[in-house]
Amino acid sequence: MTNQTIRVVARVTALPDKVEALKAVLLALIEPTRQEAGAIKYELLQNQYDPTDFTFVEEWTSNEALNIHLDSPHLQEAAAKLEGLVAATPDIRRYYLVA
């Protein structure tokens, strides 16, 4: 399994009156993250039926690359801005491709 990439699904839910503010914070993560070593895919989705629901779909070369991302200055800066914008703690899950 060491050759498998790591897939991440990270769901972030905005407070109803903070959708655009949260969206701006999340959008600012895209370009610097896509430039990181080990980033294969980094996409931000917004639920078409529930605009408060944002989901990142990510693919990384390794857990090490993902851990470096999680400690990156741009991600830490964004995380510090979440208070008052989100309805709950972000739900971040790591997966391996099964089939």
Contact 14, 85 (CB under 8 A): yes
Do 66 and 60 contact (CB within 8 A), yes or no? yes
Please give the pLDDT value at position 1.
Answer: 47
pLDDT at 40 over 90: yes
16 CB-near residues (< 8 Å, 6+ apart): 52
pLDDT of amino acid 35 = 97
Q: pTM for the full model? A: 0.93
Q: Smallest Cα–Cα separation from 66: which of 39, 43, 45?
A: 39
The pLDDT of residue 99? 86
The domains of the chain, with CATH numbers, are: 6-95 (3.30.70.100)
pLDDT digits (tens, 9 = 90+) for 43-87: 999 999 999 999 999 999 999 999 999 999 999 999 999 999 999
- Specify whether the CB–CB gap between 14 and 90 falls below 8 A: no
Alpha helices by DSSP H, listed for the chain, are 19-34, 63-70, 73-80
